[in-house]
Chains A and B, each alone.
Chain A
Amino acid sequence: MAQVQLKNVVKKYGAVGVVHAINLDIAEGEFVVLVGPSGCGKSTTLRMVAGLEDISGGEVIIGDRVVNDLPPRERNLAMVFQNYALYPHMTVRENLGFSLKIAKRPQAEIDRAVDEAAGILSLTPLLDRKPGALSGGQRQRVAMGRAIVRHPDVFLFDEPLSNLDAKLRTQMRVEIKKLHQRVGSTVIYVTHDQIEAMTLADRIVIMRDGHIVQVGTPLEVFENPVNTFVATFIGSPPMNLLEGVIRAGQVVLADGTAIPQPPGLNVAEGRKVQLGIRADNIMPEGHALPPTAHMAFVEMPVILTEPLGTETLLYATLSGTEMQAKMLNPRPVSAGERMRFGIALDKCHLFDAETGNSLRG
């Protein structure tokens, strides 16, 4: 186990910068998820930690060693790849034991480690099969097993679940979390799936265009997004954003609708803002959570419904913007029906219209 530090880490391909001087401290035993849209530099960052990409600038420190110039094999970490990257000509047993064999450990020790890992991941009945004869989920477990047997300082996961179907993905997510609780190693996990990030992480690192946008626990980034990017990236469905101008303590939308600004915020008169409202905080009257002290009401025509069983997702328009709202205890709603929605103002966010930065704190 070890801590990992990134100090002003830069990655450039020629003149093109992919990762711009990022700083990150990962504590021993922490589960950190790097999340962001494709091309944000998250995988490149991970591969620099692994030693599969050269580091163009800055320092990567694992434990107390600067590893910039060490080849991957001297960094004592294990990596799980998106495409599993199993050795196709080796059986599951050989795949699992390969790193120990390379390290010239005694056969008895290899057998013990392989059996233990196979037991943890219920791979025992598959030990003599080749990867070609395994399903996607089984291959993924072998890839994880290969990582466990080494007892590495750091586990690296590069979008390990993206090639699995939805059901299996949920299942493997739980297995990865259990694995971390059991092994307790430092984990750096890359994904583009915000649900994976929310459910797995001790801390989430949200990246965009090679920069770290926000670092925090899942609840911190969910409840206090620093800007509209994080607000719309984290959480499902994405946060609704309404353009408006502050007039007399109210957010006045383009069509004249006025919504009181969220309590506890002091924003200058005439400032252009975006009001952020999550679908959970805007609900039709009679199908909502009990009202809070700070409520505002608007009327919107419903354009589309998505019944999800215990709740229905309503698509409606407000001031020309498409909004998503949640309806509890749903009843059938037809398109075009006008409904009155209550907004829980104390849960809403205000962002600067130009920079997109949060105006809270």
Chain B
Amino acid sequence: MTRNRLPPWLVLLLPAVIIILAVVAIPLVLSLYSSFTPYHLTRPDTLWKWTGSFNYIKAATDPNFWKAFGRTVLLLTIALNAEMLLGLGLALMVSKVTHGQRALRTAMMFPMMFSPILVGFQFKFIFNDNVGLVNNALQSLGLTDVAIPWLVDGNLAMFAIIFAEVWTSTSVFAILILAGLFALPQDPLEAAKVDGCTPWQSFRFVTLPFLMPFIYIAMAIRSLDVARAYDIVQVMTNGGPARRTELLWTLIGRTGYVDARMGYANAMGYIAILLSIGFTVYFFLKLQTARRELGMGD
């Protein structure tokens, strides 16, 4: 009696294939497909109606979408640069600490240990215009006697969100840059001293070029994180007031789950992913260039 047996290599690969299909491939294909339909969560039959690129054209011509897109890019640019500069400063200072550096490094990780949702609530309270810490402090110090509408004014709300984002994630940069500082060879620095460099010149011409790969790695990781920013914004402003802090994913989340227009949300999601890919590729290329400059090979 002969049974039809699968070749052993296929049998062995099957668990992996099944998992990848179930977890990645099928949802991916399904969501991509649904972005070409008017799929509405409350009307499942809409999944079978093909509308071609309708959703994409709609997104591309929707000013709200592009405003959210622009705001996300703005958030990315400001938050990443602020985190990089602060993280660099923090790392440089911590690297000079001789006693208790270990404890300090652990303490630096604390902000990363909190759930972003809780961080959102915390800063929502801090920036509250009536009972918030910031206004309270400003008024007690006599710097102002009006209640600054931190989370209501569009620009101030954006600032508050960036502030929360920076507070949470500066330590990512600091830790990675600190790792770079520990790996920094001392000889070229001493050579620079003898060659006539001031401390600033040593930093500018020797330390910084060496740190650039570490900075770009942190940038690449963080750009993915910030590009999908959702939780903190959702909690602090819910994209409001009147869409003034609307980011790509708060917009997409609302469209998909509140308005139940999943097909359209998926289409916007795919455009948003291009942004993430764009940033990642950009930083990766920068990383490669920086590594090549250091002669670290390719």
Contacts and interface: CB of A to CB of B under 8 A. Distances in A.
A binds B: yes
Nearest to A75: B194
A103 B197 CA distance: 8
Contacts, number: 73
B62 interface: no
Interface string A106-134: 00000000000000000000000011110
Nearest to B189: A85
Contact of B295 (A51, A84, A89): A89
A188 to B, nearest CB: 13
Contacts of B185: 83, 85
B200 to A, nearest CB: 11
A39 interface: no
B191 interface: yes
B45 interface: no
B187 A81 contact: yes
Interface string A63-89: 000000001110001110101111111
Contacts of A83: 185, 187
Contact of B191 (A87, A89, A130, A132): A87
Contacts of A50: 194
B193 interface: yes
B203 to A, nearest CB: 13
A183 interface: no
A293 interface: no
B194 A52 contact: yes
A73 B295 CA distance: 27
Contacts of B198: 73
A15 interface: no
Contacts of A85: 185, 187-188, 190-191
A146 B193 contact: no
A99 B194 CA distance: 9
B36 interface: no
Contact of B194 (A78, A132, A133): A78
Contacts of B293: 89, 130
Nearest to B293: A89
A256 to B, nearest CB: 57
Residue with the highest number of chain A CB atoms closer than 10 Å, among B187, B196, B294, B297:
B196
B295 A99 contact: no
Interface residues of B, number: 22
B257 interface: no
B201 interface: yes
B49 to A, nearest CB: 57
A133 B197 CA distance: 25
Contact of A88 (B188, B190, B196, B197): B188
A98 interface: yes
A102 interface: yes
Interface string B189-233: 011111111100100011001100000000000000000000000
Interface in A300-314: none
A102 B195 contact: yes
A73 B187 CA distance: 15
A83 B187 CA distance: 7
Contact of A72 (B194, B206, B209): B194
B193 A51 contact: yes
A102 B197 contact: yes
Given A88-B188, A88-B210, A89-B293, 14 more contacts: A50-B194, A52-B194, A78-B194, A83-B185, A85-B188, A85-B190, A87-B191, A87-B205, A89-B209, A102-B197, A102-B205, A133-B295, A146-B191, A150-B195
23 contacts: A52-B193, A72-B193, A73-B193, A73-B196, A73-B198, A77-B194, A81-B187, A81-B191, A85-B185, A87-B192, A87-B205, A87-B206, A88-B188, A98-B205, A99-B196, A102-B197, A102-B201, A130-B293, A130-B295, A132-B296, A132-B297, A133-B295, A146-B195
